[in-house]
Amino acid sequence: MKIAIIGGSGFVGTKLIDALSVSPEFSVVNIDKEPSFSHPSISIIGNVLDINSLADSLANVDVVVLLAAEHRDDVSPTSLYYDVNVQGMQNTLEAMEKQGVKKIIFTSSVAIYGLDKDNPNESFPAEPFNHYGKSKWEAEILLQQWAQNHTDWSIDIVRPTVIFGEGNRGNVFNLLNQIASGKFMLIGKGNNEKSMSYIGNIVAFIQFLITKMNPGIQAYNYVDKPDFTTKDLVHHTGKILEKRIPTTRIPYWLGMLGGYGFDLLALLTRKKLSISSVRVKKFCAVTQYDSTKAMSSGFQPPYSMQEGLRRTLAAEFGK
């Protein structure tokens, strides 16, 4: 089975290629606008905005895994979210049709639900609050419309929550780094539950779907349970690192005020800063999601949340 991973040079794609490459069942090609430092021999420079070269790269492919996305909080101009995430989806579907490829797995996001929702499952109405979530939802709508006119296609949508793991330098790493260094500031009470996904499990779930695809369209939230509160995360991190983690606590309103200050500073300096009002809001929000459907599909996560956290901390901080 030949698998084309579009956008596979990043964190998730690299780990997915690692997992697929050890199985003789799969042949893998990576299509990305960025070179892959881990898998250069199977990589092709390509872009979802270039439909002709994309179609050429999909020759003889059986399954497409679409990871390519604009996802940072501070992408400018904001039209890039829609160019890459929505038009890129349309181009991918047309390129697949040209080559006769009828199976696609798309990594969307729980961002389509918005913030502070009550443990939404896959039937929950979409209410994204930022351009990233809006563009991911528009891409899903394209898939829904495509599925209506292509009933013999197999389309799986995976909506992971925030992903963490060894080698990731995203928001969870920044949080763990602050906790481990003792420079962590808890904004608000810290009782907000944070659904997270360990990289080893999300990769295993995508691999599971590749082998189980059937005609039709399915959407799956992906979350590893149990959900940690921010205070839980501080506690478990301190326990694994065998150190007491001092915590400075500041009120939510003060944290948001500081976030707006950094927004203004970023605007004036034209620099991308690690702190913003959006990131403060996301940090303090309840981000809890239902993953019953994924966990009832026959998939068994190979790692517990505690083991995923332990493996991540061991790789990053030597514990």
Active site residues: 132
Rounded CA-CA distance 292/221 in Å is: 8
Rounded CA-CA distance 315/319 in Å is: 7
Q: Which residues fall within 8 angstroms of residue 7, CB to CB, at 6 or more apart?
A: 13, 31, 32, 48, 66, 67, 68, 69
Rounded CA-CA distance 121/110 in Å is: 10
Helix (H) or strand (E) holding 163: strand 162-164
Rounded CA-CA distance 26/2 in Å is: 6
Question: Maximum Cα–Cα distance for the chain, whole Å?
Answer: 58
Backbone angles phi and psi of 205, in degrees to 5: -70, -40
Rounded CA-CA distance 288/194 in Å is: 6
Rounded CA-CA distance 172/92 in Å is: 30
User: How much of the chain is in helix, strand and coil states, percent to nearest 5?
Assistant: 45, 20, 35
Amino acid identity of residue 250, one-letter, is: I
Residue with tokens 């179609």: 55
Rounded CA-CA distance 65/8 in Å is: 9
